[in-house]
Structure 1
Amino acid sequence: MLDQESTPAVDASDRSVIQVLIVEDEPLTAEAHAAYLQRLPGFEHAGTAGTGQSAIRLVAEAATTGSPVDLVLMDMNLPDLHGLDVSRRLRAANLECDIIAITAIRDLQVVRGAISAGVVQYLIKPFTYATFAQKLTTYREFHRQLGERSRVTSQADVDQAFNSLRTPTPITLPKGLAEGTLAGVTEFLKARSAPVSAAELTDELGISRVTARRYLEHLAEDGSVLRSPRYGTPGRPENEYTWRRD
């Protein structure tokens, strides 16, 4: 496995921006997570580590620079250490950062171990950008609420902060897209086993082809649907879209 490390320059003066370390031994996957992260406001890619040992070192180094890591996106299956071991070692070294586990493991024992190791969210592979954005947006609210107080003042403060991790935060749609229409498009795609074109969606929902294409492209960009060219049809080439079921 490749041990990939990078530490982009960050603005240490802006502590409202959440500094994120990506821990992932597959370079293409790490790049995908970094690209997702760049699309979300309020987050900064603070670096990438390809092993558990390098993750611990980078968090420790960041803590001494005045720009500590706030959040670690932790792959559980690393070439040298299990992600839970890395999480426990960070805690033992008093390196304060939150952890979101990113893994294909669905075993309940591992999930329980993640909770006991201080993991605040659990993101199961494979996932779409929409799922990734939902988890991190929820975490951002949790981080904001804790940051507003120098100390916890009441049980209500504690409850409110932890509830923010469990309450989905709505993702803002691009201008011109409506929640109701998006829900209709999504339901139609989920119900179809065969790929759908913008023309077919137009006939089904009674919207214009331009509008249908905008919604389909939005779902393709966030990873919810697979987009591929449709061959063998007369006239102008068009794409077809299939709901991702993996």
Structure 2
Amino acid sequence: MPDAGKAGTGEADIRVLVVEDEPIVADAHALYLGRLDGFVHVGTVGTGQAALQRISEVAASAEPIDLVLMDMNLPDLHGLDVSRRMRAAGFTTDIIAITAVRELNVVRSAVAAGVVQYLIKPFTFATFAEKLLNYRDFHRRLGEQSDITSQSDLDLAFASLRTRVDVPLPKGLAEQTLAGVIDLLKSSGRPVSATEITEHLGIARVTARRYLEYLVDSGSALRSPRYGAPGRPENEYSWKRRKG
């Protein structure tokens, strides 16, 4: 079956295994991956042992796993232990650690175990996308190099892991309409609903809600229930003011 979602470069998609024991969280990670060009979700496992088995099964195939999104707190093994066992077995699969743990010693241990990126829960789609797109650039830069490479080539590859990127809008969202929704949220003296966005911008209510939920998901807007209104309950949205 052909890979889906090429990023327009003719290169193969990055094959990603999600290692997460919480089904809702795992589904969210898979959904996020589906919104990014250049990645394909090849499966989800809920334990460290299952991750090691899956990586081992496809390691010598034509479609090995390129990247693991690794939860650190698994029911059988710590994510760091899984990472170390992967390296000890000779697997060069890259790892992005996903965890709520913020202790510096754990972060240092993750780096030592071969983790290339670190995502701290909870995070927005924008943060997830930035880390994954930076990794995509890193992966491709290294893939372009020969066995012998220069210091500047390596510096550029690793610098791509830290470069800020423009996160693409989900399919069906337009920059101009998004700008209109943002302007309305910023200029309004109170929270607004999807219905009010519809009235001001002349777009369908379901479309307005998609833009509003995208802004909430990216960390730019806040959502709260609107109480006291007659009829069907509705959420209201406000622009997230930056401190300082």
Structure-1-length-normalised TM-score: 0.78
* 1:3 aligned partner: none
- Counterpart contact for 2:178–2:211, Cα < 8 Å: no
Alpha-carbon shift at residue 184 of structure 1 (Å): 6.4
Alpha-carbon shift at residue 66 of structure 1 (Å): 1.5
**Compared CA separation, residues 238 and 79, structure 1 to 2 (3 A):** closer
**Compared CA separation, residues 52 and 155, structure 1 to 2 (3 A):** same
Determine what percentage of the aligned residue pairs are the same residue: 58
The CA RMSD over aligned residues, in Å, is 3.5
Alpha-carbon shift at residue 74 of structure 1 (Å): 0.2
* 1:68 aligned partner: 64
**Which 5+ residue runs of structure 1 have no aligned equivalent?**
1-8, 203-207
Alpha-carbon shift at residue 177 of structure 1 (Å): 3.7
* 1:176 aligned partner: 175
* 2:7 aligned partner: none
Alpha-carbon shift at residue 219 of structure 1 (Å): 0.9
> Larger deviation: 166-175 or 138-147?
166-175
CA distance in 2, matches of 1:101, 1:84: 9
The number of residue pairs the alignment matches comes to 228
* 1:96 aligned partner: 92
- Counterpart contact for 2:185–2:192, Cα < 8 Å: no
* 1:122 aligned partner: 118
* 2:191 aligned partner: 196
What is the letter of the counterpart of residue 167 of structure 1? T
> Larger deviation: 56-65 or 178-187?
178-187
**Which 5+ residue runs of structure 2 have no aligned equivalent?**
5-9
Alpha-carbon shift at residue 48 of structure 1 (Å): 1.0
* 1:52 aligned partner: 48
- Counterpart contact for 1:19–1:70, Cα < 8 Å: yes
* 1:18 aligned partner: 14
What is the letter of the counterpart of residue 150 of structure 1? S
What is the letter of the counterpart of residue 176 of structure 1? E
CA distance in 2, matches of 1:112, 1:128: 23
- Counterpart contact for 2:186–2:239, Cα < 8 Å: no
Alpha-carbon shift at residue 235 of structure 1 (Å): 9.0
* 1:149 aligned partner: 145
CA distance in 2, matches of 1:236, 1:80: 45
- Counterpart contact for 1:10–1:44, Cα < 8 Å: no
**Compared CA separation, residues 21 and 10, structure 1 to 2 (3 A):** farther
What is the letter of the counterpart of residue 191 of structure 2? V
Asked if residue 82 in structure 1 is aligned to residue 78 in structure 2, the reply is yes
Structure-2-length-normalised TM-score: 0.78
**Compared CA separation, residues 67 and 238, structure 1 to 2 (3 A):** same
